[in-house]
Chain A
Amino acid sequence: MATQNTKTLARLMMAPSVLLLLVWMIVPLAMTLWFSFQNYNLLDPSNVSFTGLFNYQFFYTDPAFFQSIWNTLVIVGGVLLITVIGGIAIALLLDQPIFGQGIVRILIISPFFVMPPVAALVWKNMIMNPSYGVFADISKFFGLRPIDWFAQYPLFSIVIIVAWQWLPFATLILLTALQSLDGEQKEAAEMDGANFLNRFIYLVVPHLARSITVVILIQTIFLLGVYAEILVTTNGGPGYASTNLAFLIYRTALLGYDVGGASAGGIIAVVLANIVAFFLMRAVGKNLDR
């Protein structure tokens, strides 16, 4: 009886927050869904009417649509690749006993505290600028022609900036996982004749599997909606070369004043995110069960 009462009480106590979260999620989603079937343009806000699937057709036939989806996936995939591999490498280095360990760790983590527009501006003006950026200086030093990053490799530049921001997160999670690896296991492997590479493959990577999964899942959620970095650097261009789905929705809503079309894009983004989540969970989700 006592447990039954506690359970009921616990549910009652949790109900308000669950309800709040549900409303918080359901209301915007329902509104977006509603607007996506409306002909609703801010240039003519008095003339709102039901248009069926026209908004979806409009968004779908936008020449930027497929490219923006592709760009979204490239940003997610590229950043994940760089942060996971780079994160493991840096975590392995930080796990070694070195002089000034605390300072080094804080320095490594600091990019995470820089807000995205600031980080992007720093990269745009101080590092990647073709006339006075650091990369340009390096190119000139070797007698090469400086690269105009945002004109020549717009999407790759975005990937680099976003990866720089997320690398500390991956490093931090993977470093804590690395530190929890049992020292005796490493010694046992050493006695079993495993060299560093074998210890890494057979001992460290399986031990890190769960943390890598967490890094991938959390980062994917945020990377699907990368926006600020694009806005302050390339503004989606040249053409649509660095426009992702989030940025395309922004253009439709706030540059085209087309609330209906943007809402349709939003719903498509939700569907895309769910497809990505589905494949991700199938690929790496089993690591969480162990």
Chain B
Amino acid sequence: MGSITLQKVSKVFGEAKVIPSIDLEINNGEFVVFVGPSGCGKSTLLRLIAGLEDVSGGHILIDGKDVTDAAPAERGLAMVFQSYALYPHMSVRNNIAFPLKMAKLDKAIIDKKVTDAARVLNLTDYLERRPSQLSGGQRQRVAIGRAIVREPSAFLFDEPLSNLDAALRGTMRLEISDLHHQLKTTMVYVTHDQVEAMTMADKIVVLNRGNIEQVGSPLELYKSPRNLFVAGFIGSPHMNFVNGAYAQSKSAKTAGIRPEHLNLSKDSGLWTGTVKVAEHLGADTFLHLDVDGIGPITARVGGEFGAQYGDRVYLTPDEAKLHRFDDKGIALKA
């Protein structure tokens, strides 16, 4: 069990309206990612669900029960913090056992649960160490261990991977996804990194200035972003936006075309541009171009497409994959 419902939830800090009003439904067992630029209110929203902040208005329901005024511990949720928030003076074993000890469980049961959690998370050899003697990835796993022993109705993750290096982040991403499939528990995950959102989520909630811009599966958001903000935020490298004559010819204010939907050629095409920067990633090359009459455009081509600084290349957008937006920035239906 672990469905979470937000009804007209709002949060005000003094004068600042961080979250004007949000309605959201999180189903049992879902992996939901809150994503948005920094300061968009995603962490605040998570803390409201956790009960670490009080809502200024609206209601929060967990499994249909109103928990708006309940203390954090009474909500049956577990949270993994950005800094991991491990207790530095306790061994890994005591860290993981702490919530169980607070729940006054039997010593034998605690031991068994801690051992099980340690086995799942590959921490068995580290149980007697202090957090300061562990690597970043291990600390992360301890924090997750402390969360799973409580068998919460939902997990809350607050940017848990932002303190890890790139390689470890990739591994932990897989581990958390794997854990979700094993436990089948609801997970709410906050990140500013759209790659994490795309790779892990069942459902992505895109937030901007405290408002939900769009809710949907990763591919829905990728294929049909509802507005300019979502279009620009989801996808890497970012979507190119073209205004002016070309957009008007498609009867739109702004035309959006993803870097991977531009066909490049060295002989002919609709537009011509000069290569400013060529990022060779091996399999792919990202070309940052200055296109005549349009401006900067990013294009993605295969690694075998040789291009250097200053080369002249021809581009043709794939019309079928074009996104069109009206003057309010809302997507026009095809």
Residues of chain A having any CB pair with chain B under 8 Å: 182, 184-185, 187-194, 198, 202-203, 206-207, 209, 290
Contact = CB atoms under 8 A, between A and B. Distances in A.
10 contacts: A182-B85, A184-B83, A188-B79, A191-B72, A191-B78, A192-B73, A193-B73, A193-B102, A193-B103, A290-B89
Nearest to B73: A193
B311 to A, nearest CB: 50
Given A191-B72, A191-B78, A191-B79, A185 B87 contact: yes
Contacts of B88: 207
B106 to A, nearest CB: 16
Interface in B246-295: none
Interface in B36-83: 50-52, 71-73, 77-79, 81-83
B203 interface: no
Interface string B179-209: 0000000000000000000000000000000
A198 B87 CA distance: 13
Main secondary structure of the interface of A (DSSP, over half): helix
Nearest to B132: A290
B139 interface: no
A192 B50 CA distance: 11
Interface in B100-133: 102-103
Interface residues of B, number: 24
A203 to B, nearest CB: 7
Contact of A190 (B73, B86, B150): B73
A194 B50 contact: no
A196 to B, nearest CB: 11
A202 B72 contact: no
B28 to A, nearest CB: 20
Given A190-B72, A191-B72, A184 B99 contact: no
B314 interface: no
Contacts of A202: 87, 90, 98
Given A187-B52, A190-B73, A191-B77, A182 B83 contact: yes
B284 to A, nearest CB: 38
Interface of B: 50-52, 71-73, 77-79, 81-83, 85-90, 98-99, 102-103, 146, 150
Given A187-B52, A206-B89, A207-B89, A193 B99 contact: yes
Contacts of A206: 87, 89-90
Given A192-B98, A192-B102, A192-B146, A184 B72 contact: no
Contacts of B90: 202, 206
A169 to B, nearest CB: 25
Contacts of B98: 189, 192, 194, 202
Contacts of A182: 83, 85
A200 to B, nearest CB: 13
Contacts of A194: 73, 98, 102
A125 to B, nearest CB: 47
A187 B158 CA distance: 13
Contacts of A203: 87
Nearest to B152: A191
A285 B171 CA distance: 42
Contacts of B81: 184, 187-188
Contacts of B87: 185, 188-189, 202-203, 206
A187 B85 contact: yes
Given A187-B52, A207-B89, A192 B83 contact: no
A206 B95 CA distance: 14
Nearest to A199: B102
| For the complex of A and B, 6 pairs with smallest distance between CB atoms | A192-B99, A188-B85, A193-B73, A184-B85, A206-B89, A193-B102
A270 B211 CA distance: 71
B83 A191 contact: no
Nearest to B146: A192
Nearest to A203: B87
A184 B88 CA distance: 12
